[in-house]
Every structure is written in structure tokens, then in C-alpha cells.
Structure 1
Amino acid sequence: MNKQAIAVTIAGNDSDGSAGMPADLHAFYGRNVYGMGLMTAAVAGNSTGIFAQQVMPIDFIAKQFEVLAKDFDIGAVKTGMLANKAVIDCVADNLAKYDFGKVVLDPVIITKHGAMLLDDDAYQTFLDRLLPLAEIITPNFFEQEKLTGMKMDSDSQIMAGAKKLQEMGAKNVLMKGKHGTGSSTVRDYLLLEDGSSQWLEKPYVDTTHINGTGDTLSAVIAAELAKGNELAQAVAIGKDFTYEAIAHPIPVGSKFGPINHWVAQKAVK
């Protein structure tokens, strides 16, 4: 078996390269981890929007698991767009069947703007089958409120929400801070399995180039876990890397652009 650190993203492919699987692979590369992509869906989109979507056949998704497991020693995996109940069931079945290392669960349930991405049946399957597999879950603000059934308007509510997610099955929880609230900072809350916790804070960057932000953060965490780093260190590196990528936008796209993995790769050691 190989000795190079390997991480796998189970996600959809965004044709413009800004989010989903491409962002994950950029992040893996930026952290010196060999990245593999297990595709669940593909979207036809550009910086102005998404115009078509194709979900991969279930037998094709399962076959990707099989062939990767046969040949590679995988250190960590992160999930992204899982589309529907059948895909979630397939992913859960195969993560139980094969050892892909620690699971970083990026929910991709609700967009950063609050739009629901899964129907009720798929959402319940996500809770029942994937949440208990998570080494860490990384929900955005809207996902936190949906998952917990709680408002997230104060530090105490965020802390209580993280505890509830642990009670629901996640070992560790990263509650990502809400963007664009008029605050000069973005604060994330990390609750670890042993009960310890910390707040991670970075300046808020006012930019339309934020596509792939959540993908990148969870992908860097997965990359660091694949290298054998402790979770708290992996999260701190993920936060630093994502901030640097947002803070140095690149001129790609006419509307909502990608973040800058090149600068982050050089800035974060």
C-alpha cells in the first residue's frame, strides 16, 4: 500500500471549478495531500448560477467506492453534495463497508443563502445514517438551525446547538459563523468529543468571491486528518487556509467567483 497521504472527496462536480469536488481537490493539493474524487453528481454552472444537474447512477457511485478501496490506503474522506435519499444510502452503505479513514461531514443541506437542498426523506436519511459516522460535522449557520431546531442568535445558543449535534451522533462539531451580519469578524465554534471547546475568529472579508468556502474548509480538515494531525490542529489550519483564500480574491467569473487556493497554499505552512 502507498505511504503518500490520500484524501477522498465524495461530492458533485461544479463545471466552473469554483466549488464542490474541484474546490476540494484544490484544497487537498494545497495541503500536500493526494486528492481523489468520488463523484455523486455534476452541475452545469458558471459564476452567474447553476443551470442543470445530473445525479450519477447509484451502481456507478458504488463502483467508485469498490475500485478505490481495492487499490489505495485512504486516510480521510469528506462528503459534499449527496443529492437524494438513494445517494445518501449508497454512501452510508459503502462507508460502513470500506475503511476510508475519518469522515468529515460537510452537510450541504442548505445553501449559505438559506435555500434547502434536500427533500424531507433524504434529510431524515442523512440524520439517521451519516451523522453517526462523522468524525466532525461542519454545518453553516442555516444548517445549524435546521439540524438542531434551535435559533443561533447568541454564543450560548451556538454552544448549546453544538452540544445537541453531539447528542445526535456527531463526535466533534464545527459551527461555522454567519457571514455578512455587519460584524467585522467571522467566529466559528469548535466543540470536541472530550468536551473541550474554542472559538476561532478571523476578519470578515466583504467580497463576492466566496464560492467553495465551506468545501475548502472541510477539505483542508480532511487533508490534515489524512496526514495524521490532531483534529483541533486540522480545524485551525483549515480556518487559516480558508481565510487566506478569501482575503486574496482572483479575477475569475463575472459575478460570484472562486476563492484563491494558490495564495493560501503559500501563506499557510
Structure 2
Amino acid sequence: MKKVLTIAGSDSSGGAGIQADLKTFSAHGTFGMSIITAVTAQNTQGVFAVQDITPDIIKEQIKAIFEDISVDGLKIGMVSQIETIETIADGLKYYNPKNIVLDPVMVSKSGFHLLKTEAENTLIDKLLPLATIITPNIPEAEVITKLKIQRLEDMELAAKKIYNMGTKNVLIKGGHLDGEAIDVLFNGSEFKYFNAKRINTKNTHGTGCTLSAAIASNLAKGYGIEKSVLNAKEYITTAIEHSLSIGKGVGPTNHFYTLYKKAGMLK
């Protein structure tokens, strides 16, 4: 069984962060492991508080995993402060894992800043060059590139600019733009486009976490970048189509819908 690691924050409501990643890893038939960077108090209505884990404990978590278990794929999510980012970067440089997916989580859907402004450049300088692929949405890509993204051509320009910062592949998610939802993948030489129908649901909590974790799972299983993104897109689309109306706000996706269906647990 392939082993996949998430380095991210904990979501107490279970829809995003570490919890969403572990569910996604399991849904893909991989063994999930976690390094927790922060504990959040959040639910379907928003993020209300964050407690960062100390760099020393993050360092010890990294050491505990890599000195015992092989890591076939890795996803990085919420890393809120400079010291956290530097600790993770040092650990990854030392252990040199493959298949690193960087999801630059910056602002929650409710507007809570999960990445401190002063840490943005550190993420770009320290983690982006280590990534096999980075998966920003439109607002995150705008922060990284300082560009205004309003159309497909802007996404392509931003992807090129992010690629030139040192990552191997860039996937810019187009869900924030009007019209058809198109994601743009750039590998340094060519673009690939992934179209997806818009699904009429408000329950999209944790979609970015889930997509990046799905890409990491597919890379760990030996698929190439394009196929991993395609498989992950199909997975998240199904999870959103059958999303769950849990809580009073933005509900989570259904990470195990396909497995439950195969097991005959759904009517």
C-alpha cells in the first residue's frame, strides 16, 4: 500500500484540512499520515480561532514519520507562519521526498487569513521550489504573482510566472471566474485544460484540500502529473455532486460516496 503524508492544519468540523486529506487518502486506497501545523476552531460557518503548533513539535513530527515510514506522496496545506514554513522546508530538503503537492492555503471561504501576510514571501521562496505541483485558486494565484486574473489568458500568464519561481508544475483552479470552470495546468512547455461543469450546491467546504490530497494520492500510486490531475478532478466532482448538507453553513463534500455506493450502503 502506498503511503501519503499531509502537512496541514486540523479542521474541527472534519470538512477540510487534515481530516479531509486523510479521508481522501483512504478513498484512494492509500495509507494516510499527518503532520499537524495548526489547530483551528472552525465549522461550516467559518474559522473562529487558530492555535499554531510550535516549530519544535512540527520538526519532531517530520522526523518521526520519515525516519520510520517511506513517503510515496506528500501534500502541504495550511502553514500559517514563517517559522512553520522554514521548519517544513528544512525537513523536506533533508529527507528529500518525491511527489510534493503544495496547496497554498491563504484565506478561508469565510475570509479568515490562514496564511499570515508576512509569511507569503517565505512560502514562495522556501516551499514553492520544492513542489512537484502547486495548486492555487484564482485569489491565491493573484497574491503569488501580483497579477489581476480575470480571464483564461490571465491564468496562463500567471501559471508561467509561478512556474518561473521554481516549481515543476502549476495548476491554477478557475472556479472563481464567471462562466465555465476551467483549470489550467502548465508544465513549463505546454498547457493542459480541465473543464468541469458547475454544480449547483453551496456545500463546497474543503474542496481545495480534497483536490490537492487526491493529486498527491494519484502521484503516489505512480500516475503522471496530467493523469493525476484528471483523476483528482473526477474524484472531487463526484464528491461535490453528492456533497453533504451538514451544519448551518457551507457543508462538506462527500469523500466516500463512490466507496459507499460500491458497498451498497446508499439507497
Note if 1:11 corresponds to 2:4.
no
Matched residue, 1:245: 239
Superposed displacement of residue 264, structure 1: 4.4
1:117-169 CA-partner distances (Å, limit 9, x unpaired): 33343111111111110100000110111111112112111111101111111
Would the alpha carbon gap of residues 16 and 115 (structure 1) be closer, same or farther in structure 2, given more than 3 Å must change? closer
Matched residue, 1:262: 256
Would the alpha carbon gap of residues 177 and 266 (structure 1) be closer, same or farther in structure 2, given more than 3 Å must change? farther
Would the alpha carbon gap of residues 112 and 178 (structure 1) be closer, same or farther in structure 2, given more than 3 Å must change? farther
TM-score (norm 1): 0.92
Quote the Cα distance in structure 1 between the aligned partners of 2:13 and 2:210. Answer: 15
Note if 1:192 corresponds to 2:218.
no
Would the alpha carbon gap of residues 152 and 114 (structure 1) be closer, same or farther in structure 2, given more than 3 Å must change? farther
Which one-letter code corresponds to 1:107 in the other structure? Answer: P
Superposed displacement of residue 102, structure 1: 1.7
Quote the Cα distance in structure 2 between the aligned partners of 1:104 and 1:96. Answer: 15
Quote the Cα distance in structure 2 between the aligned partners of 1:234 and 1:66. Answer: 28
Equivalence map 1:52-67=2 (5 Å): 52-67=49-64
Matched residue, 1:226: 220
Mapped contact 1:11–1:80 kept (Cα < 8 A): yes
Note if 1:124 corresponds to 2:118.
no
Can you give the 5+ residue segments of structure 2 that lack an aligned partner in the other structure?
Answer: 263-267
Mapped contact 1:114–1:142 kept (Cα < 8 A): no
- Calculate percent identity across the aligned residue pairs: 38
Quote the Cα distance in structure 1 between the aligned partners of 2:115 and 2:48. Answer: 18
Which one-letter code corresponds to 1:214 in the other structure? Answer: G
Matched residue, 1:104: 101
Which of 88, 91, 95 is residue 85 of structure 2 equivalent to?
88
1:169-216 CA-partner distances (Å, limit 9, x unpaired): 1110001013473x2x311011124x1221101111122210110001
SS in 2 for 1:189: strand
Note if 1:172 corresponds to 2:166.
no
Superposed displacement of residue 251, structure 1: 2.9
Matched residue, 2:39: 42
Mapped contact 2:46–2:109 kept (Cα < 8 A): no
Matched residue, 1:147: 144
Mapped contact 1:241–1:265 kept (Cα < 8 A): no
Quote the Cα distance in structure 2 between the aligned partners of 1:225 and 1:89. Answer: 25
CA RMSD of aligned residues (A): 1.8
Mapped contact 1:180–1:206 kept (Cα < 8 A): no
1:6-48 CA-partner distances (Å, limit 9, x unpaired): 1100000101100000001111111111110110011122222
Which of 69, 74, 77 is residue 71 of structure 2 equivalent to?
74
Quote the Cα distance in structure 1 between the aligned partners of 2:66 and 2:126. Answer: 20
SS in 2 for 1:59: helix
Superposed displacement of residue 110, structure 1: 3.2
Quote the Cα distance in structure 2 between the aligned partners of 1:150 and 1:64. Answer: 36
Can you give the 5+ residue segments of structure 1 that lack an aligned partner in the other structure?
Answer: none
Quote the Cα distance in structure 2 between the aligned partners of 1:264 and 1:38. Answer: 27
Q: How many residue pairs end up in the alignment?
A: 262
